[in-house]
Structure 1
Amino acid sequence: MKKLLLIACLLVPGLALAAGPSVPLDKANYDLTDKASLQNGAKLFMNYCLGCHQQQYQRYSRSFEDMGVPLEMGQEYLQFTGEKVTDHVTNTMPEESAAKWFGAAPPDLTLVARVRGADWLYTYLRAFYADDSRPFGVNNKVFKDVGMPHVLQELQGLPRETHEKRLIDGEMVDQYVGIKSDGTGELSPEEYDAAVLDLVNYLVYVGEPARLEAESIGRWVLVFILVLFVFVYLLKKEYWRDVH
């Protein structure tokens, strides 16, 4: 029995790696101190994501305060269904209906950045491509056969796989080289990447709203420990002076 448990423990990490994305992840250089980025990310989330995905562990008022948005302005531009400013960020989509429409109920996104990672989210939101075999007409290179439509298509346009003819082993083959928008979106490729980074920045913030404060306190705690160490060391020398 012990041998079986040991084998299972050794296999679990391999299974986890096998379940990961088959494409390299792009680095998400987010900045939690950039309030303009956080505000734009919140706007994108409220306009394009909240219809399906909730953030039921985050309150509007906490987000507005941390992002430097006045409560009245936040209620006017970032709240659309009449909630109170102290309410959690939720929607009215019935879970049973959502599961029927999408195959599974869309997950809550409060902690998605902590679960998936910022790099995964940044790459995933830029990895949709046209696929007529899928119910919503798109697929995703990071999450194959995902049941989610490309909700940011209005901004990006319709992305398609691109191929180039290359000589491989003496034979000309069509090789996949990336995803390119058809140019029908409201944003240029560079602007779209920046918008996605803002959205990821906001999702990272929501996953740990007190992160900046905790890091600041942590630095002061380390300074206090270093100073305390000096006094403790001197006290130790004084205490043991007569012993030695």
Structure 2
Amino acid sequence: MRTMTKILRSLALAGSVMLAPLAAHAEGELHLDKAPLQFDNASLQNGAKLFVNYCLNCHSASNFRYNKLEQIGLNDDQIRDNLLFTADKVGEQMKVALRHEDGKAWFGAAPPDLTLIARARASEAGSGPDWLYTYLRKFYRDDSRPTGWNNLVFPNVGMPHVLWELQGEQVPKIVTKDDGHGNQTSIIEGLEIAVPGKMSKDEYDENIADLVSFITWMGEPAQETRKTIGWFVLAVLAVLAVLTYLLKRAFWKDVH
């Protein structure tokens, strides 16, 4: 009986741990902004530049090789001169020198590999690109955190706001509301710019859209080709369906 009780308590504890993130999202009424993804070469090249300069310092993309950037209109010389900061050859993987142990010690958790992060977040949040797009725009100053930063989408995140020079410094707009039981509760209603960055809000949002587009494309470089082939196959099947129907009518027209 004691053994069964211990098992039930363990299952209850495990369930509460797994449901805690969902409860936090529900309580905070998290709304994800739609990511305006663009997979044209200009957007992806700008996204690649932002990724290499701001993300690749700590995060690797070990399942992606630099030479795949040729698919978005860059040649080897352009890649080597402008984007090859963490490797010696264009054919190498996007890896970083930061060790797993150091990342865990500095940030509380090792920075994850970003090759498939959009697809991974899609399974957790419903839309990986939307999650990334909202997350990268919702950092705010919080002196209680070790890095001095917090995030509305990922509360108590260990990652600092590496793009703060571009966006500027946001601070929370805190309001006090009654919880319906006579208790006053302080909540964050939104964010506002306290110190302007190098970019306007619209410029920053456009650049984040390019960055998220690149991260999404990086997880499956063939996705646009696959979609194009898919539409072509559907068109061919539609034509074959019409021809089949006409053939059937011609074959059965004299049958009563």
State the TM-score, normalizing by the size of structure 1: 0.82
Match of 2:112 in 1: 107
What one-letter code is carried by the residue in structure 2 that aligns with 1:44?
Answer: L
In 1, are the aligned partners of 2:87 and 2:95 still within 8 Å (CA)?
no
Q: Secondary structure at the match of 2:119?
A: helix
Quick one: higher RCO (CA 8 Å, sep 6+), 1 or 2? 1
Is this contact kept in 1: 2:87–2:93, CA < 8 A? no
Of 148, 151, 155 in structure 2, the residue corresponding to residue 137 of structure 1 is 148
1:210 equivalent in structure 2: 222
What letter is aligned with 1:139? N
- Residue 168 of structure 1 deviates from its aligned partner by 11
- Which residue does 2:4 correspond to in 1? none
Distance 1:47 1:222, change over 3 A: same
Is residue 164 of structure 2 the alignment partner of residue 148 of structure 1?
no
Q: Residue 81 in 1 paired to residue 93 in 2?
A: no
Give how far 1:209 is off. 0.8
Q: Distance in 2 between matches of 1:102 and 1:200?
A: 22
What TM-score do you get using the length of structure 2 for normalisation? 0.79
Q: Map of 1:156-171 to 2, 5 A cutoff?
A: 156-163=167-174
Q: Deviation at 1:19? A: 6.0
Unmatched segments (≥5 aa) in structure 1: none
Root-mean-square deviation (Å): 3.1
SS of 2:190's equivalent in the other structure is: strand
Q: Distance in 1 between matches of 2:156 and 2:242?
A: 59
Deviations 1:186-206 (A, max 9, x none): 212222111111111111111
Please give the secondary structure, in 2, of the residue aligned with 1:106: coil
The aligned counterpart of 2:232 is: 220
Aligned residue pairs, count = 232
| Alignment-derived partner of residue 128 in structure 1 | 139
1:188 aligns with 2:193: no
Distance 1:96 1:238 in 2: 73
| Residues 1:19 and 1:160: Cα distance change in structure 2 (over 3 Å) | closer
Aligned partner (choices 35, 40, 45) of residue 51 of structure 2 = 45
CA distance, structure 2, for counterparts of residue 17 and residue 158 of structure 1: 28
Alpha-carbon displacement from aligned partner over 1:101-124 (angstroms, at most 9, x marks no partner): 111111111111122211111110
Residue 36 in structure 1 maps to residue 48 in structure 2: no
- Identity fraction in percent: 48
Residues in 1 aligned to 2:145 and 2:187: alpha-carbon distance in whole angstroms: 22
Report the residue type matching 1:32 in the other structure: F
| Among 11, 23, 32, the residue aligned to 1:25 | 32
Distance 1:98 1:164, change over 3 A: closer
Q: Distance in 1 between the 2:202 and 2:176 partners?
A: 26
